[in-house]
Amino acid sequence: MEKSKLVEQLRHVIEETSSFCSGLGIDLTKIQTTYGFERVRLIDDAVDAILVNDESKRKYMSLAGSIVMIYRSILPDPAAGEFYPKQALFAILAEKIRSMVKEADISGVMKAVDELLDNSISTEGYVIHQPLEPSETEHLVDLSRIDFEALKTRFEKGRKHIETQKLRSEINLKLVQIVRLNKVRTNYLDKFQKMIDEYNSSSYNVETFFARLVEFAQELLDTLKKEKLVLDWRKRQQSRAVVRLSIEEILDRLPRSYTPELYQHKCDLLYQHIYDSYFGQGQSIYSNQNIFIPANIVE
C-alpha cells in the first residue's frame, strides 16, 4: 500500500480511537500535557475506564494494535512524525492493560479437556501420561498468598476495574493450571466463565462482580486445601508403583485365554483410569458425576 494511503488510514484509526477514549471520559490532551506523578495517575485512570468490561477492553486493544502496526509500516517516512505522540500514548495504555491481563485461554484448555475425554472413552484406550515433574509446578499461582482483606481495601479506595481485572487474571491462571492437572475441575471453569458473561451483559455492577470473584477465589482455595491439587499418591513414584502392582495382581486372575500382551494392555488402561479418576483422601470423579469405567477396560 502507498505510504500516503497508510497515513490517511492511520489518521482515521487515531481519530476513531480518540473518539472511543473520549466516550469513556478519558482526556487524552490532558494526559499528554501533564508530567510526573500526575501523568501516571491520569494514565491509570484511563486504563481503569477502558477495563469497564471485556467488550471495551477488546475494542481498545484492537484499535491500539492497528495504530501501532500501521505506524510501523509508515516508518521511516517523516510523515510518521505527526502521529508519534498519540500512537505512543495509545501504545502505553495498551501495554499497561496487557501487563495486568495475564489470562490463559480458557477456550483452548476446554478444547484440550474435551479431546482428552473423547480419547478416554475411545476404542483406542487411554494414553498413558507421565505425572508432572516438580519443575513444571514451580510457577503455579498460589491463591493462598493473596491478602483478601488488603485486596478489598485497595478495591474500595482505588481503581475498581483495575483491581477486579488483577484478581480475575489470577483466578483465570489458577483455573487453567487446575484443569490441566485435574480435568474433573472443569465445573469451576464453567462457573467462572458464567460470572464473566453475566458481568459483561450488565447483569450486575463492578462492585458485585468483585465481591463474587473474592467469594469464588476463597471457595476455590478451600477446595484446593481439602483435595490437594497434586495428590500424594500420584506425586510419589513408590506410591504409583504400589498401585500398578496391585492392578497387575488383581488382573492376573483373568482367564488364561488372555494373552500376555492383552493382559498388559488391560493393566495400562486400568492404571490410567485410576490415575485420572481417583484423587486420594476418598475423592474420585464418581463422587461428583455419573461417569462409568470405559468399556474397553473390562471387555
Question: 129: part of which helix (H) or strand (E)?
Answer: none
pLDDT of residue 252: 78
* Helical ranges in 24-83 per DSSP H: 28-32, 37-50, 54-74
* Nearest Cα residue to 240 out of 129, 120, 122: 129
pLDDT score of 121: 36
DSSP state of 284: E
Q: How high is the pLDDT of residue 103?
A: 61
Count of other CB atoms within 10 angstroms of residue 148: 14
Instruction: Determine the Cα–Cα distance for residues 204 and 182; give it in Å rounded to an integer.
Output: 31
Q: What's the confidence (pLDDT) of residue 224?
A: 72
Cβ–Cβ under 8 Å, residues 68 and 17: no
Position 182 scores a pLDDT of: 66
Supply the pLDDT for residue 233.
Answer: 64
Check residue 259 and give its pLDDT.
Answer: 80
Grid cell digits, residue 121: 472413552
Q: Please, are residues 74 and 7 in contact by the beta-carbon 8 Å criterion?
A: yes
Q: What's the predicted TM-score (pTM) here?
A: 0.66
Q: Residues 282, 283, 284, 286: is their CA dihedral positive or negative?
A: positive
Would you state the pLDDT for residue 127?
A: 38
Per the DSSP assignment, residues forming a β-bridge with 278 are 284
Taking 50 as the pLDDT cut, the residues of the chain under it are: 108-110, 112-140, 229-230, 281-298
Residue 263 burial by Cβ neighbours in a 10 Å radius (0-12, 13-18, 19+): middle
pLDDT at 137: 38
- Please give the pLDDT value at position 109: 43
Would you state the pLDDT for residue 298? 45
